[in-house]
Structure 1
């Protein structure tokens, strides 16, 4: 295992994000990483980019806790089959991107770790520019879910794993 992968795995262990180093036989959305019942599987031999670990870990971290165990394979295909709302899943996608940015900043890794040339359908450079220049992309959701706070400033995280569902409770009278 290279140093970056070891550093990422140590981080995932420290924040209690479930993962295992294992052989993955099925085809996966990203080479060498798979979501299996809310846990991340990492196949070091098939992994193409270390940053893909952080992006997929971000999906687990920002998912509503009641749906986390349903995370399986391709988040979108399988999530829609399990009754997840498309809007919630798109919000979680951008939050997972922001989460992975906070993680690379915490680990002092280059942004290219997650925004490599083969990722994000050619938009990696634009995403790096957006985050490096104070653009807002997913951070407000992390704030609403009380994972970060506007008072401390992104990318500082208060919690690395979402603990509750964001709903407004109606006052009882």
Structure 2
């Protein structure tokens, strides 16, 4: 994990990271009808309004939803992505696991990713769970070829999650 990002560096660092991975990111003004304040998914792109964005960690979570989808489905996504749960290994748990790995990679604290304004009141529990090395969604990331669990990584001599083998599902 990198050194923790300062508050002023968080959004620019997150957006740069996502773009470097090959995810489409657009910045433009958004209205109040977004699923999350200042964040929208439109035609497979993450659309961001920095002035309305309340929680930078939401950018990683929503990007995680796109990243764990098969590449052919990514450009078809818009809105709240409710149908992602129907795609094997592309659900909420996988998006959270992907976002946690991304947060670790760029130095975003878990408290910023699993912020108190989201996760249906389960933020503290998620922070504790991930900090203890229990990773909901890791199995799906493994099935998608994105990461190795501890046992698999040890047997192959590679790094284990939260290290990612690939950031985007093929």
TMscore range, shorter length: 0.7 to 0.9
CA deviation after TM superposition for structure 1 residue 156, in Å: 0.2
Q: Does 1:61 align with 2:67?
A: yes
**2:9 matched residue in structure 1:** 3
- For the residue of structure 2 that corresponds to 1:2, the secondary structure is helix
State the distance in 1 between where 2:144 and 2:89 align.
Answer: 15
**1:105 matched residue in structure 2:** 104
Q: Which has the higher contact order (CA 8 A, sep 6+)?
A: 2
CA deviation after TM superposition for structure 1 residue 26, in Å: 5.7
**2:33 matched residue in structure 1:** 27
**1:131 matched residue in structure 2:** 130
Q: Which runs of 4+ in 1 moved over 4 A?
A: none
Instruction: Give TM-score scaled by structure 1 length.
Output: 0.84
Asked if the contact 2:34–2:40 (Cα under 8 Å) also holds between the matched residues in 1, the reply is yes
**CA RMSD after TM alignment:** 1.7
State the distance in 2 between where 1:136 and 1:51 align.
Answer: 17
CA deviation after TM superposition for structure 1 residue 149, in Å: 1.4
Asked if the contact 1:54–1:103 (Cα under 8 Å) also holds between the matched residues in 2, the reply is yes
Residue correspondences, number: 156
Structure 2: runs of 5+ lacking an equivalent: 1-6, 154-158
Which 10-residue stretch deviates more, 1-10 or 141-150? 1-10
* Gap change, CA 1:31 and 1:90, over 3 Å in 2: farther
CA deviation after TM superposition for structure 1 residue 68, in Å: 1.2
Asked if the contact 2:146–2:164 (Cα under 8 Å) also holds between the matched residues in 1, the reply is yes
Asked if the contact 2:69–2:87 (Cα under 8 Å) also holds between the matched residues in 1, the reply is no
Q: Does 1:71 align with 2:70?
A: no
Asked if the contact 1:91–1:138 (Cα under 8 Å) also holds between the matched residues in 2, the reply is no
Structure with larger Rg:
1
Q: Does 1:159 align with 2:158?
A: no
Instruction: Give TM-score scaled by structure 2 length.
Output: 0.86
